[in-house]
Amino acid sequence: MEILVIGGGAAGMSAASWARRKAPEARITVLERTNIISHAPCGVPYYIGGLFKDYWLLQAYDVKFFRERRNIEVLTNAEAEELDVRSRVVVARVGGQRVKLEFDRLIVATGARPRRLLSADARVLYVHHPADAEAARRAAEAAREVTVVGGGVLGVEVAEQLRNMGKAVHLVHRGPYLMSRDLDKELGSALTQMARGAGIDVRLGVTCV
């Protein structure tokens, strides 16, 4: 059996590992369009804030681990470009070449995407994936004042780290309190007050376009 996973983040590598347990004899291949796998975005704010310098600490396990310990082949810098469900074929660009990969089972674990603003200003950066972290870190170091759009987990953590760096920080969130999708009103309101107490300019009920 050929199992193909598109996406090598935390979800994709967990799915590939689960598939290995369920199908010990299967051939499992993972496609990841960046150079880093087995990651979660929760470490990115702390890399931006300078709590650690090694980019690769954002990766829990590397390609060698999955190949040698779990018999899972991982192709990095490999982006799926076409999918033919009827023929069960994915066309991917790997190392500059287009290759066809057949599958019996396909798992798509490409994750979410941040909503893009209408502005094309180069000063607008999107922080979602470890691949975004280096540019965001350089921009943060050079900036004096930063606006963070989004008061979810990542937005709050990024704002906290920027404030710890001594930046003037504005945190814009469309909900009634920070982390409104994760916390109830009591906890979310307490978090909002803590952020304001730390010197973060929190603006609620605001939608950016």
Q: Based on the domain organization, do 90 and 150 belong to the same domain?
A: no
> In this predicted model, what pLDDT tens digit does every residue of 18-33 receive, in sequence order?
999 999 999 999 999 9
Percent of the chain at pLDDT above 70?
A: 100
| Residue 136: inside a domain | no
Q: Based on the domain organization, do 93 and 171 belong to the same domain?
A: no
Q: Based on the domain organization, do 89 and 13 belong to the same domain?
A: yes
Task: Assess contact for 19 and 45: CB atoms under 8 A.
Answer: no
Q: Based on the domain organization, do 102 and 155 belong to the same domain?
A: no
| Residue 137: inside a domain | no
Q: What pLDDT was estimated at residue 51?
A: 92
Q: What pLDDT was estimated at residue 70?
A: 96
| Residue 184: inside a domain | yes
Q: Does position 63 have pLDDT exceeding 80, yes or no?
A: yes
Q: Does position 120 have pLDDT exceeding 80, yes or no?
A: no
Report DSSP letters for the chain, one per residue: -EEEEE--SHHHHHHHHHHHHH-TT-EEEEE-SSS--SB-GGGHHHHHTTS---GGGGBSS-HHHHHHHH-EEEESSEEEEEEETTTTEEEEEETTEEEEEE-SEEEE-----PPPPS---TT-----SHHHHHHHHHHHHH-SEEEEE--SHHHHHHHHHHHHTT-EEEEEESSSSTTTTTS-HHHHHHHHHHHHHTT-EEEES----
pTM: predicted TM-score of the whole model, two decimal places: 0.84
Catalytic (active site) residue 42: yes
| Residue 129: inside a domain | no
Q: What pLDDT was estimated at residue 96?
A: 86
| Residue 16: inside a domain | yes
Instruction: Domain of residue 45: give its range.
Output: 2-108
Q: Does position 7 have pLDDT exceeding 80, yes or no?
A: yes
> In this predicted model, what pLDDT tens digit does every residue of 193-204 receive, in sequence order?
999 999 999 999
Binned at pLDDT 50, 70 and 90, residue 35 comes out as very high
> In this predicted model, what pLDDT tens digit does every residue of 65-104 receive, in sequence order?
999 999 999 999 999 999 999 999 999 999 889 999 999 9
Give me the chain's average pLDDT, please. Answer: 93
Q: Does position 190 have pLDDT exceeding 90, yes or no?
A: yes
Among candidate residues 1, 14, 18, 42, the one labeled active-site is 42
| CATH number assigned to the domain comprising residue 166 | 3.50.50.60
Q: Are strands 97-102 and 105-108 parallel, antiparallel or unpaired?
A: unpaired
Q: What pLDDT was estimated at residue 183?
A: 97
> In this predicted model, what pLDDT tens digit does every residue of 124-171 receive, in sequence order?
888 888 888 888 999 999 999 999 999 999 999 999 999 999 999 999
Smallest Cα–Cα separation from 19: which of 10, 27, 9? 27
